[in-house]
């Protein structure tokens, strides 16, 4: 992976992390198109830059993170399902992360759901995070687990989960953002530890990898700062239908490329 690859992947991550289109799916497909092999470092890079993008939430909503302990209790409860299922299914998830076809199928299925979600859940009663109780936080956490399948979109799964529990679109999106912080922080720490345990890198290679992770994370963070507010504004005005259409089109294009060319068979 060279510096151009790092910049491209980081920009895509920053743009897509908070959109209901699956940043992981976009990274999988982009890596395949660029001919980037799925070695252990590439997998680690794609996780670490997600944390970089998600830290934009802490900056934008910093007041929420210094409000009260109840906020953190909800996040801890909400992240428990992802921790459990993530540990149980890690090996299978790693295999799926190498499959652009699996991503494409998830794109299409998720896109169809997004076409109708605004009509399904159109009578919200919860407008702010403070009105979310612990049971609701746990239920949203279970929805987030759907995103363990690449291409589903953690953002989409948790937002739809929130809306199914009577949260408004904005409240569901914001809680999804908040829930991403402990989720990706934990995933990043685990992947860093696993990579450290199993890799035997020379000092020069270790330095190069660290620099790559820092550059990718900073770029993803800066791009995400711009993307978050834009997404919230768009969501309030337009809803999810356009994202659903985008996902279906992208999924169909990926499927066509997969079966008609060798471009996506390098992942």
Query: Model's pTM, two decimal places?
Result: 0.82
In this structure, what is the dihedral angle of CA atoms 240, 24, 104, 12, given to the nearest 10 degrees?
70
Q: Identify whether the C-beta of residue 239 lies closer than 8 Å to the C-beta of residue 245.
A: no
Among 157, 151, 210, residue whose Cα is nearest residue 179: 157
The 10s digit of each residue's pLDDT in 156-175 is 899 999 999 999 988 998 89
The per-residue pLDDT of the chain, averaged, comes to 85
**Per-residue pLDDT, 184:** 80
Give the pLDDT score at 214: 92
pLDDT score at 265 = 62
**pLDDT score of 165:** 92
Between the CA of residue 11 and those of 44, 219, 220, what are the distances in Å? 17, 6, 6
The pLDDT assigned to 39 comes to: 74
Per DSSP, helices labelled H in the chain are 3-16, 23-34, 40-60, 69-96, 100-120, 134-144, 154-164, 169-198, 203-238, 241-260
- Give the pLDDT confidence of 65-74 residue by residue, as tens digits: 887 888 899 9
> Is residue 261 very low, low, confident or very high in pLDDT (cuts 50, 70, 90)?
confident
Please give the residue that has the higher pLDDT: either 261 or 113: 113
Q: Evaluate if residue 127 carries a pLDDT over 80.
A: yes
How many angstroms separate the CA atoms of 261 and 258, rounded? Answer: 6
CA atoms in the 13 A half-sphere facing the CB of 22: 35
Does residue 121 carry a pLDDT above 70? yes
- For range 223-250, the mean pLDDT: 87
The first and second tokens of residue 187, run together, are 């995933």
What is the full DSSP assignment across 91-127?
Answer: HHHHHHTT-HHHHHHHHHHHHHHHHHHHHHT----B-
Return the H-helix or E-strand segment holding 39: none
Give the up-direction half-sphere exposure of residue 145: CA atoms within 13 A in the CB hemisphere.
19
Six-digit token string for 228: 């978050």
Say if CB 128 and CB 65 are below 8 A apart: no
* Residue 266: pLDDT over 60: no
Per mean pLDDT, which of 31-35, 66-70, 177-181, 189-193 is the most reliable? 177-181
Average confidence (pLDDT) over 233-258? 88
Whole-number Å distance between alpha carbons of 159 and 176: 6
Separation in Å, CA 43 to CA 28, 63, 245: 9, 33, 28
pLDDT for 267 beyond 50? no
Per mean pLDDT, which range of 46-50, 80-84, 188-192, 203-207 is the poorest?
Answer: 203-207
């Amino acid at each position: 992976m060279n510096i151009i690859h790092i910049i491209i992947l980081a920009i895509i991550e920053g743009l897509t992390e908070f959109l209901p289109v699956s940043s992981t799916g976009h990274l999988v497909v982009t890596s395949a198109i660029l001919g980037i092999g799925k070695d252990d470092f590439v997998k680690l890079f794609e996780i670490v830059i997600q944390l970089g993008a998600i830290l934009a939430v802490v900056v934008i909503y910093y007041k929420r993170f210094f409000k009260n302990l109840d906020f953190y209790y909800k996040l801890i409860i909400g992240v428990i399902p992802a921790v459990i299922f993530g540990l149980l299914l890690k090996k299978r998830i790693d295999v799926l992360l190498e499959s652009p076809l699996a991503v494409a199928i998830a794109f299409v299925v998720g896109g169809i759901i997004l076409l109708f979600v605004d009509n399904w859940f159109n009578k919200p009663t919860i407008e702010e995070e403070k009105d979310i109780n612990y049971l609701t936080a746990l239920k949203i956490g279970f929805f987030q687990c759907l995103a363990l399948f690449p291409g589903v979109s953690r953002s989409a799964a948790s937002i739809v989960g929130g809306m199914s529990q009577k949260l408004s679109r904005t409240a569901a999106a914001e809680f999804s953002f908040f829930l991403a912080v402990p989720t990706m922080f934990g995933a990043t720490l685990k992947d860093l530890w696993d990579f450290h345990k199993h890799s035997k890198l020379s000092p020069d290679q270790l330095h190069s990898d660290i620099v790559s992770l820092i550059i990718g994370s900073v770029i993803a963070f800066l791009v995400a700062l711009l993307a978050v507010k834009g997404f919230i504004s768009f969501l309030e005005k337009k809803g999810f239908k356009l994202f659903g259409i985008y996902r279906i089109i992208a999924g169909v294009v990926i499927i066509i490329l997969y079966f008609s060319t060798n471009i996506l068979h390098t992942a």
